[in-house]
A and B are shown apart, each in its own frame.
Chain A
């Protein structure tokens, strides 16, 4: 039976409250609103909420005190907390995230967006709780460090039986393994083969492995070797195609171009299905075509100028930054170290490429034999040919 989550809302602004309460109730949540006639902390204790939403600027009420008081109660240490505010300054948002707020929503907002963020936070918390509960009979981790191909290989090696749960964006997928062989996969309404193909491309998210005996009829006919071959190829192709695109969380929109002559039938079909703004992720998931094929088509349409990013992507970019900030908020680093880590992360990939490009001994021998390569020529230049006095003069002129 599904648990009914309780949401506790502190806000007196009925303009926003009424539609939000309706939206949350419609989504299956039990909503309790604070009217201000009792101490909020007493109500919170009585209600035992699973998530709290609060306006930051309430008259005669210190929201930050309330937040600290809630967090000091052992039972509510992990209850997600969302702040609402009309303040739009990014600094304020950062400040709130830094004190440990789980999410921050600016007014005005779309009810659907708040409902979706509430669901995500509750999923996140229940995922962590589940993972904690499963540590004795399994293990969990991050898909960036270990993707589905790695997990299948690990299970195959020890001929283990397990249920692997993968969480990516708002989707939850399941792969069943019996004696090291993949026997079934579930993801939404997709057939097992298509479900596992989609999960191969998930390189961001979490996994939980439950070591249990699996007695299921085999619904995936391909051998592990074949699946792993396909999986590795798909991950490589996926990453390669992604290079030419904005982040898959970006929102794209159709441009006004009416010249469809240079488009293939599949491109035309995909384009005709886009009515409004859409996230690239959603576009791929909604398409009846293979995910990889759809991604390739999206890239083609984007490069030919039929799809373009919308202005909305700025907020996603900042949200992404705030998420990273939140993830690093309590790891003991100073704010400037955190900022540095986040920015360094923007350029991370190139560092790893650089490491790969260190020539091996044989290449170095070849280089000695055939002469220096162009990059060596680059290194011959670049002395700082201005003196210290000249540089200081230049600096002064730039003040």
Chain B
């Protein structure tokens, strides 16, 4: 079986877990900072999601190890919380400077609240900020929304394969 791996990063541990649960239905393994879930596309192909939380005091992820196997990254922050945005900025900086894999930034919005940018501005591709990353609004605890964000990442990988 072929396995693809994606890291899901958020400041708030809950958001990464919600995202993984939305995609994989359940979390297979979990400790204080890392969680893990499997998504079987079919009997030959699976996607492994690794949830990583970052916190202000201890931002010591081993990026060089993580980067070796990741197809791409999903970075989540809480749209209503400026601290959450600030906390993911160093991660975004690190990913765009040090990593070559594409990533999606999800501004997580609460249920019932509309994102301030009308969805017509996004079409289906999110907001393209560079060849490496895109920005989108989403609700990580909603499977449909989480899958849409993950599809954006797969689309970016497909673009790379097509351009290769």
Contacts and interface: CB of A to CB of B under 8 A. Distances in A.
Interface of A: 89-91, 94, 243-244, 246-247, 250, 309, 313-314, 317-318, 321-322, 335-336, 339-340, 342-344, 346-347, 349-350, 353-354, 357, 374-375, 377-382, 384-388, 390-399
A395 B81 CA distance: 31
Contacts of A90: 114-116
Q: Do most interface residues of chain A lie in helix, strand or loop, or is the interface mixed?
A: helix
Interface string B129-150: 1000001000000000001001
A210 B82 CA distance: 38
B2 interface: yes
B9 to A, nearest CB: 15
A9 B83 CA distance: 39
A395 B89 contact: no
B54 interface: no
Contacts of A309: 81-83
Contacts of A394: 4, 41, 45, 47, 154
Given A350-B89, A388-B158, A391-B158, A382 B96 contact: no
B47 to A, nearest CB: 6
Contact of B85 (A344, A346, A375, A380): A346
Contacts of B155: 395
List 9 A-B pairs, minimum CB-CB distance, nearest first: A381-B68, A350-B93, A397-B41, A339-B121, A378-B67, A375-B98, A382-B100, A377-B64, A382-B101
Contacts of B56: 244
Contact of B42 (A314, A354, A397): A397
Contact of A343 (B89, B97, B127): B127
A358 B113 CA distance: 40
Given A336-B127, A390-B45, 19 more contacts: A90-B114, A246-B82, A309-B83, A314-B113, A336-B123, A342-B117, A343-B135, A375-B97, A378-B63, A378-B68, A380-B68, A381-B67, A382-B101, A385-B71, A386-B2, A386-B71, A387-B161, A393-B41, A398-B150
A354 B85 CA distance: 18
Given A309-B83, A384-B160, A354 B89 contact: no
Nearest to A388: B161
B162 interface: yes
B92 A350 contact: yes
Contacts of A339: 117, 121-122, 127
22 contacts: A89-B114, A246-B82, A343-B127, A350-B92, A354-B93, A354-B96, A375-B98, A377-B64, A378-B99, A380-B68, A381-B100, A382-B68, A382-B99, A384-B71, A384-B157, A385-B4, A386-B4, A386-B71, A387-B161, A393-B45, A395-B151, A397-B42
Contacts of B71: 384-386
A94 B121 CA distance: 12
B96 A314 contact: no
Nearest to B77: A346
B28 interface: no
Contacts of B114: 89-91
B5 to A, nearest CB: 9
A340 B128 contact: yes
Given A346-B85, A382-B99, A385-B71, A395 B121 contact: no
Contacts of B47: 394
B139 to A, nearest CB: 16
B93 A353 contact: yes
B4 A381 contact: no
Nearest to A316: B82
Interface string B24-57: 0000000000000001011001010000000010
Nearest to B41: A397
Contact of B118 (A94, A322, A344, A377): A94
B117 A382 contact: no
Contacts of B120: 335
Contact of B96 (A335, A343, A350): A350
A82 to B, nearest CB: 20
Nearest to A349: B89
A347 B116 contact: no
Nearest to B161: A388
A393 B117 CA distance: 31
Contacts of B41: 393-394, 396-398
Contacts of B93: 350, 353-354
B55 to A, nearest CB: 12
Nearest to B97: A354
A30 to B, nearest CB: 35
A3 to B, nearest CB: 36
A314 B82 CA distance: 9
B82 A250 contact: yes
Contact of A384 (B39, B113, B161): B161
Nearest to A247: B82
A20 to B, nearest CB: 27
Nearest to B100: A382
Contacts of B68: 378, 380-382
A91 B118 contact: yes
